[in-house]
């Protein structure tokens, strides 16, 4: 970047400055002074961002993620069941797989709502629905 006052070179202090209020650029010519008598300096409108803090996630988002994971588990189990039935030469339609997944999800949701972790495990492991 060139100095806006003398068009000379400027020091780039963006990565080394210790105070966020310090200028991002400073003229290399110590005789190049601004109207207040300081060496000419420039601040960018946007500085290098600080380390991002962890985003806050509300309980509704966690609940939605949990529900999505439960439904994915239900859909996987229903697909496995459908694949087993197909091996038995039964004709399985996608609507049947989705119906089984919905029933399976309802069972998982009920077990989780009741806080019955063993029931959740049973639903997943045994495919009971």
Give the pLDDT of residue 6: 93
The pLDDT tens digits for 70-94 are: 778 777 777 777 666 666 656 667 7
Over the stretch 2-25, which tens digit does the pLDDT of each residue have?
A: 999 999 999 999 888 888 889 999
Q: Using the predicted structure, report yes or no on whether residue 122 has a pLDDT greater than 70.
A: no
Residue 37 near residue 16, CB atoms below 8 Å: no
- Cβ atoms within 10 Å, residue 16: 8
Q: Write down the pLDDT at residue 129.
A: 43
Q: Determine contact, residues 71/65, Cβ cutoff 8 Å.
A: no
CA 113 to chain centre: 26
Strands 10-12 and 41-42, bridge-based pairing? unpaired
Query: Using the 8-state DSSP alphabet, how is residue 39 labeled?
Result: B
Please state the domain extents for the chain: 1-51, 59-126
């Amino acid at each position: 970047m060139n100095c806006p006052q003398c068009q000379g070179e400027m020091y780039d202090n963006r990565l080394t400055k210790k105070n966020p209020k310090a200028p991002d650029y400073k003229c290399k010519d110590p005789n190049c002074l601004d109207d207040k008598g300081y060496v000419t300096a420039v601040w960018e409108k946007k500085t290098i961002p600080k380390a991002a803090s962890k985003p806050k996630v509300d309980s509704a988002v966690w609940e939605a993620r949990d529900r999505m994971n439960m439904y994915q588990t239900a859909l996987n189990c229903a697909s496995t069941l459908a694949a087993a039935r197909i091996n038995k030469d039964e004709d399985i339609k996608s609507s049947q797989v989705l119906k089984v997944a919905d029933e399976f999800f309802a069972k998982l949701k009920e077990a989780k709502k009741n806080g019955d972790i063993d029931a959740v495990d049973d639903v997943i492991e045994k495919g009971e629905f």
